[in-house]
Structure 1
Amino acid sequence: MGSSLSQYIQRLRQGDQSAFLPLYEKTAPGLMRFLMWKTNGDRALSEDILQDSFVRLLVNLDKLEAVEELAVQRYLLQMVKNCHIDKVARAPKAERNCVPLEALKDVSESFEANRAEQAIEMRELKLAMDSLNEKDSEIIWLRDALGLSHKEVADRIGISEPAARQAYLRAKRSLLS
């Protein structure tokens, strides 16, 4: 069985630089998907934010108090959010890249078959997600896009599991209405 995130963090704290690559490979794909969503598909900006996040992680490694798997995931997600705010939310509107939602779609054979239908669905989904508050949209993203359990969602955003379940159901109802 592979090493856990906490083992990679402990090895990094002890100066074992070889622990960085497996930590990165285990966590970067999910964080990148989150950033692609938050940046409207701007891959270059997402990669830049992800890189800054991991640099901050390494610089602040000793500040990470708990090293349990979920604590490390929550810390990384918060680091990514903070870097995103630093790069995007604080930038003047005129400087922000606006990438069409279509850039997020994977080009595949099935996409070609029903391209128009999917474009309409994606627009409707974006409008629905934009109507949610940030916490609810994050819960939907973590649960549906990243496939996390209600407990994992609760741990990542710092609420109880029943509250995460309730917020998820409320957000889903809001999306469907």
Structure 2
Amino acid sequence: MDPLTTSTGAEPDAALLARYARGDAAAARLLAERLAPMVLRFATRMLGGDRAEAEDVTQEAMLRLWRQAPQWQADGAAKPATWVYRVAANLCTDRLRRRARRRHLPLEAAADPPDPGSSAAAQIMDATRAAALEAALASLPERQRQAVILRHIEGLANPEIAQIMDTGVEAVESLLARGKRALQARLAGKRPELGYDDDEDT
């Protein structure tokens, strides 16, 4: 299923946004439940695991969507999810640039919570692998990192990523190819410490 569309039979995002513009608070709640978690995941990874900053970005992106609602054109040209992803990407870029100017080191990436059913050793290895991936992602150039997160973590299609990143599909494909090569190169030397055999895929 397309991550930027609603499930079969569910009211489309644009219709919910139109209802919100007419004063329907329940529509806003439904739309926020759909969009905010996706934006939060994306922003958290873009910002190197900084959950607090990602929450700020998510809140600001959703507020901007609510302000846009009265002028929204439900003509199929843009989806609310695509629009809010683009806003979040721009907000993340602004924060990363401010960080770089202040010369702050990025916060250590937060790993996903371990599976309570797995062993302690497996949990430690899973956390180590997640941290290694987060660190490798954080080391990518910003546009490559954004494309890789949207495609391989959020599961969006290349045309949707092109809309979000305001670029062409071929440029997205190039960013993805370079990002994947860079990730493989950064993680290649860590296979033994991450618990992978030489003949095992990461």
- Asked whether the equivalents of residues 65 and 84 of structure 2 are also in contact (C-alpha less than 8 Å), the reply is yes
Q: TM-score, normalised by structure 2?
A: 0.70
| Separation of aligned partners in 1, 2:14 and 2:113 | 33
Give aligned pairs, total. 175
Deviates more, 1:22-31 or 1:48-57: 48-57
Of 25, 32, 42, 2:50 maps to: 42
User: What is the alpha-carbon root mean square deviation over aligned residues?
Assistant: 3.0
Q: What pairs with 1:9-158 in structure 2 (closer than 5 Å)?
A: 9-65=17-73, 68=76, 70-84=78-92, 89-90=97-98, 93=102, 99-101=107-109, 103-108=110-115, 109-110=117-118, 112-158=120-166
Structure with the bigger percentage of helix: 1
After TM superposition, the score normalised by the length of structure 1 is 0.78
CA contact (8 A) 2:18 2:69 kept: no
The answer to whether the 8 Å contact 2:147/2:161 transfers is yes
Aligned to 2:184: 176
**2:189 alignment partner in structure 1:** none
| Deviant stretches of 4+, over 4 Å | 63-67, 85-89
Larger Rg: 2
1:14 Cα offset (Å): 2.5
User: Structure 1: 5+ residue runs without aligned partners?
Assistant: none
Structure 2: any 5+ residue segments left out of the alignment? 1-8, 186-202
